[in-house]
Structure 1
Amino acid sequence: MSLDSSRPPADLPTDKELVLKVIPMPADTNGNGDIFGGWVMAQVDLAGSVLPARLAQGRMATVAVNEFIFKHPVRVGDILSLYAGITRVGRTSITVEVEVFAERFAQQGEYAKVTEARLTYVAIDADGRPRPLPAR
């Protein structure tokens, strides 16, 4: 799937925080020459954990990937900007939305949303059991 160059580039989110920027390399490609989806998922999980880590103030774990949508392929050399925002805080868990935007190497300054996801993290104790989040 290729990006439609007649469409304007995606607007970057104003309701989320930029938590990670990364550039995929040739070693991260799949058999089609695009960046392997599992690599993108790992980056999203890392980015998604940034904001919950502030609230959990201790160990936490990813407990669910509630939704994951690949909108466009990621290419070698793309500059990926990962934005995250907390959508729900429970007693032990935190749900986060992550949006991934690619700044294509040849089109600096233009962004296209390539992936969006919703993940849930849970605060855990030393034994790996859920624990209440600290009072805010």
Structure 2
Amino acid sequence: MRSLVLLCLTTFIQACASLNSVSVTPIPANRANEVSAQSQRWIIFGFNFDNDYADQVAKDVGRKCPDGKVTGILTKDETYMYFLAFVMKRQVVATGYCLKAGAVASTAATKKSRRVNSVDEAVEEDGVQ
């Protein structure tokens, strides 16, 4: 009897986690001000009627950087399954770096942008023979 209870208990407390997708934007040189936000939703029996919780993450990250631009954003979409996958938790996490308006302008001003038309032209520009 005790082993049956133990078997049932271990079956129901099992959990599984999976990472569904990850995306990264270019990471800036100035990584002093990190901002992060997350949102989650509990789902019973796989019935999820909307994904509004994911939209909230973008708004939260933007609110944490009101005077600048968020760059170097890492987003993760995670799923946690509990109780034989009858109960799931979907979680979206976004982390990035807030560049203040002055830092964004100075970074853009220091970059030289020039169109390279061929590989040979790019090699000449780098000074490689």
Same-fold call, TM cutoff 0.5:
no
Q: Which has the higher helix share?
A: 2
Q: TM-score, normalised by structure 1?
A: 0.29
TM-score, length of structure 2 as denominator length: 0.30
